[in-house]
Structure 1
């Protein structure tokens, strides 16, 4: 099938399920526990009702936003997803090329199939491309984690997306039923060399088999931000107090996310968490949001509620599985077109004109 068979992101999801092995689909599409948060993320955006204005001046209009020192063509980006090589032979190269062609920001997982430096080299001179960010987790020590950050900087990445909401994996029933195991050769392209710090001896059985002895705290985040060679974006924020603390420690931006419903089930959907976080951190600090974004109206609602940009994760990889780079580029284009239509029909000439008054309060 060609991209003409997909007219929205839901179509790409259905086509990807047809093409992927059941265990790969379980990994990509599944969530934690009963997948309540996975479902709630999308449902929460859909439940928000728009209250558009009419007869507003719309010319000249555009979709550009100013974020983290750059002008973006539009406020849509690709969230980090591990091991793109599991889903298509083009792997992250296809994703990066598509993002560059569509002017989209692209955050690339440290657990990817392709080294960051190779991906940057593909598009670094591409005019109109969006920013490239490296995503990573705590590596067990400050030294190892800063080594990952230095690796990203040397590769040419522009910021670090430091994910803080997954000190342990979620209980993913769908993956376990399918017997899925992430192939190491598809997820270690950016691994930090050397061994993790050893676990100490415990007098009593420890929580999560002792793994949490190496989990980061606010002190580690503060040290990382102070020593990082790149701006640090903190991903995985749901509580307003956490967002304020990340801002006060000097994070370049916050990322409202519940890990796509893949870690802790029944947590607040991001659409519900976003307004309180924006109110807490004030208007100036950049906020990114992901989780359940499937339509251009979702992007518009996210910006109206205070987000600076909205990112998609699963939909981009589903499009990659269907048609490689062409599929990803088409998926971004579909979302861009829907966003432009929604912007105009809500009476806004630019994203800067979006505001909470466009969301109906029941």
Structure 2
């Protein structure tokens, strides 16, 4: 099915961390928790994924939790993502020396200490004021690459500065303005991103019933659009809109890149961003024009393979396509010269009754045949889930909602705790199943449960 040392990994960057054998991150994690438990302390961030979600729900507003936790339609895709994991069982092989274990792997020539990455999650200010900055620092402390969201709460340059030297990529939502797309990509390259991840499955906004019932979309409140308001091309578009819509008798408004970005920031701070508070905050032409411009350009249903090819003239960085769920599209991704396939249904947020990513992963991996890395997300909740995904053909596994929940519960330490717990369970699953390296995981490591 899948060569765990695929062709794309033949090169290695000299600035990558050196992998080393481990006697168990799981032992360290368990020891720290149990030692603290002697004095009656319990983890601030729940270890159990279900309890973690409940703790986040208590910490978040109704609107914030609905946005972060919700899915499309009746949320059957979310449920199907989880059921897909339930169909597989780890098949242990004891009486093997597993005293030293190695979680390291390679991505695009860079050695990583584990096969875990953080999926791009937008509007993290809903969970915590430090949002993307806290996520970047926590990821860096674990050596886990973070994919900076296109719908971030802080500009990419600030996230990069928060974790200098850390591995990072940038998620591009292909907007209706190619000039804006190019500007975002060039900024990502300039701030040290090692790849561009183009999200393909949000060219139309999914039918998200929780948000619809609340009448809540954070972007209309000026949240999660910091990559745009900090961009010179977007600022010019806002300037043009504000000038065109200003009443003739109104005094001229001097719009500059700095005041456009500042205007939306001022509109968000210290005001209740619903009802009358929202109307008051958006009365100024600056934030109102920024929100309206964003809603106009955010995505385009006209994106095709032919138009996507333009990205090659904007950057020399590797380009990974995210939102691939059909083997034919995976094969074309390789044929068109892109550098990675990211199997994702957007965590069940875009299409109700979509195919579960884990179900299509083996066929996608077989079509790709080790020519480019395969990443998978959607439904991943634990280290055991990561092990199953690796065994079915993934090279890396992306974690999403759980780290957002950790952020909501405890900020940066919450994200770090979630990463640690997932890696600790992966480590112990590896050892208890009779393996000493993630490269050993394959179809023979699993058994069908049904």
Give the TM-score taking structure 1 as reference length: 0.91
In 2, Cα distance between the equivalents of 1:223 and 1:2? 52
Maintained 8 Å contact 1:98/1:326: yes
Q: In structure 1, what is the equivalent of residue 98 of structure 2? A: 58
Give the C-alpha shift of residue 223 in structure 1: 2.3
Residues 161-187 of structure 1, C-alpha deviations (whole Å, 9 max, x = no match): 100011101111111112212044321
Give the C-alpha shift of residue 68 in structure 1: 1.1
2:55 pairs with 1:15? yes
Maintained 8 Å contact 2:44/2:410: no
Maintained 8 Å contact 1:51/1:360: yes
Q: In structure 2, what is the equivalent of residue 247 of structure 1? A: 334
Distance 1:41 1:70, change over 3 A: same
Maintained 8 Å contact 1:113/1:185: no
1:125-164 matches, cutoff 5 A: 125=165, 129=166, 131-164=167-200
Q: In structure 2, what is the equivalent of residue 223 of structure 1? A: 310
Give the C-alpha shift of residue 60 in structure 1: 3.5
2:112 pairs with 1:84? no
Residues 14-73 of structure 1, C-alpha deviations (whole Å, 9 max, x = no match): 100011111111111110001000111122112211222222232442100011111111
Give the C-alpha shift of residue 322 in structure 1: 0.5
1:65-104 matches, cutoff 5 A: 65-104=105-144
Residues 95-128 of structure 1, C-alpha deviations (whole Å, 9 max, x = no match): 1111111111111111111011111112114xxx
Maintained 8 Å contact 1:3/1:327: no
Q: In structure 2, what is the equivalent of residue 294 of structure 1? A: 381
Maintained 8 Å contact 2:204/2:301: no
Q: In structure 1, what is the equivalent of residue 69 of structure 2? A: 29
Pick from 105, 109, 129 the counterpart of residue 149 of structure 2.
109
Q: Show structure 2 runs of 5+ residues with no match.
A: 1-40, 242-295
Distance 1:254 1:215, change over 3 A: same
Maintained 8 Å contact 1:54/1:346: yes
2:408 pairs with 1:321? yes
Maintained 8 Å contact 2:174/2:300: no
Q: In structure 2, what is the equivalent of residue 176 of structure 1? A: 212
Distance 1:117 1:5, change over 3 A: closer
In 1, Cα distance between the equivalents of 2:237 and 2:341? 30
Q: In structure 1, what is the equivalent of residue 346 of structure 2? A: 259
Give the C-alpha shift of residue 254 in structure 1: 0.8
Q: In structure 1, what is the equivalent of residue 46 of structure 2? A: 6
Give the SS at the match of 1:360: strand
Q: In structure 2, what is the equivalent of residue 185 of structure 1? A: 222
In 1, Cα distance between the equivalents of 2:299 and 2:103? 43
Maintained 8 Å contact 2:98/2:431: yes
In 1, Cα distance between the equivalents of 2:224 and 2:375? 25
Give the SS at the match of 2:72: coil
Give the TM-score taking structure 2 as reference length: 0.73
Greater CA radius of gyration, 1 or 2?
Answer: 2
Distance 1:90 1:212, change over 3 A: closer
Residues 212-267 of structure 1, C-alpha deviations (whole Å, 9 max, x = no match): 97521001222213542421110000000101111111211110000111111111
